[in-house]
Each structure stands twice: as structure tokens, then as C-alpha cells.
Amino acid sequence: MRPPTNVQTSSRPTASDDPARSDVTHPANPAWPEWDEWNVRTEICEIGRRLYHHLFVAANDGNISVRLNEEEIIITPTNVSKGFMNPEDMVKLSLDGRLIASRTGKNASSERRMHLAIYKHRPDIRAVVHAHPPTATGLAVAGIGLDKPFLPEIVVRTGPCPLVPYAIPGGDELPDSIIPYLRDHVTLLLGNHGAVAYAPTLIDAAFNMESIELNARIFLVASQVGHINYFDEGQIAALRTRYS
């Protein structure tokens, strides 16, 4: 699956086809290429199915968003299984959380504030994935972070994944709790809750989520069978030099 591309024309539904779709247009900004909205909606559905089939979410768990342009995001609705979404289900919000369009009348995810906080504090980020991968979430419930590297991929790909102390979800507490961690990380464990991953593209955000869970499984096995051999500073520096 490719990241969304800047498609100028499309046979997909247009504003004239859908009265709920916003008529607001934005001037072109080279720093924020406009991604094709239908592609974005479709890819969110695909990533949702991927999370569901990996058992990273159950029932209506999890949420996904993409920054469509400089001023708008597309986000999953509340109370919808991520394995059974349609492109029309997605909700469009402004960067301050204002509802722009909901074709089906569904509300945006209750965790929208967390997504908006990430976009506010990380202008390089254009996609956010929140899920409950079981092994990683188990570590978060146990109060264990993955912030010390023990695999080359942790050093050269995602970086450390610290544990954010528990904050009640659905309001301002959770987004406020992650802000101190956002600048230096692209993956976070959320205490007694789950995990969140973010990246410049949706597929990379999904890959980051997969990496959280795989690293958590390896950590768990290593801790059960023996000793975890963390990299020392010299080994970390050598990896960064080689793969920089």
C-alpha cells in the first residue's frame, strides 16, 4: 500500500455529490501538499482492517487519523469496529477540533484530542494510529516501558518507546500527559491503556505500531528465558553511524 498521493482529479464522490462534504478550499502550500481525500479515507479503512486482523483492537477499540492538509484531518468515528469501516464513515475535523463534515452523522473518535495534540506539537507528522496490541498493552499495564534499546531496529527505526503514566482517556488528561514525550519519540506506551504511533505517512504510522508489538513480544520472551542484553552507548553510536 502506498502513501496517499496528491491527486488532482478523481471519479470519486465530489462536493456536489455529497452535501455533507465541505466546500471550503485552501490555497496551495508547498509545505502541506493536499492529499486526495478519498484515498485517505480508503487507506484508513485498510489500516483499520490490518489492526483488527492482527488482534491489535477488539470490538470498537482504537482510532486512526490522517492530516489531510494544513488545516484539516480525517479521523475514524466513535463506536465503529476498525475491521468493518467504510470510507464514508470517516469524520473531517479542523486542527482545533471543529467538525467540518460527517457524511453518516457519526461523531469523531473520543480520542480526537490526543490526535490533535500530536499534530499541534509535531508539524512533521501526518498520521496517528492508536491501538491496544496485547503484549505491548500488557507491559503498559505492568508499568514497563520499552525505552532502552535491545534490537538494532529500535535504534535505527522507531527509537525508544517510553511509558506514559496513566491518564483517564476521552478528555484533556490523556493528550496533556503525552505532550512532554512527543518531540523525541514516534511510539508511546500509554499506562493501563494501550499504545500510540505516529509518522509522516499512514503506512509508516501503522508499521511503527507493528514494531511496538513485535518489540514487546521479544522483550517478554527474553525476560522469561533469561537476561535482556541492552545495547551500551558504544553499540548505539555504531548503529547510528552505520545507518545514518
User: Annotated active-site positions, please?
Assistant: 111
Q: Would you say residue 26 lies in a domain?
A: no
Residues whose CB is less than 8 angstroms from the CB of residue 78 and which lie 6 or more positions away in sequence, other chains included: 60, 106, 107, 108, 109, 110
User: What type of residue is 10?
Assistant: S
Q: Would you say residue 109 lies in a domain?
A: yes
Q: Would you say residue 57 lies in a domain?
A: yes
Residues 223, 47: Cα–Cα separation, whole Å? 31
Q: 130 lies in which domain range?
A: 37-243
Q: Would you say residue 27 lies in a domain?
A: no
User: What type of residue is 48?
Assistant: G
CA 52 to chain centre: 14
CATH code assigned at 236: 3.40.225.10
Q: Would you say residue 51 lies in a domain?
A: yes
Q: Would you say residue 212 lies in a domain?
A: yes
Q: Would you say residue 164 lies in a domain?
A: yes
Q: Would you say residue 211 lies in a domain?
A: yes
- The tens place of each residue's pLDDT in the chain, 244 residues long, gives 344 433 333 335 443 334 333 333 333 445 678 899 999 999 999 999 999 999 999 999 999 999 999 999 999 999 999 999 999 999 999 999 999 999 999 999 999 999 999 999 999 999 999 999 999 999 999 999 999 999 999 999 999 999 999 999 999 999 999 999 999 999 999 999 999 999 999 999 999 999 999 999 999 999 999 989 999 999 999 999 999 8
Between β-strands 63-67 and 99-102, what pairing exists: parallel, antiparallel or unpaired? unpaired
In the chain, how many domains are there? 1
Length of the chain as a residue count? 244
Residues 173, 111: Cα–Cα separation, whole Å? 11
Residues 146, 189: Cα–Cα separation, whole Å? 8
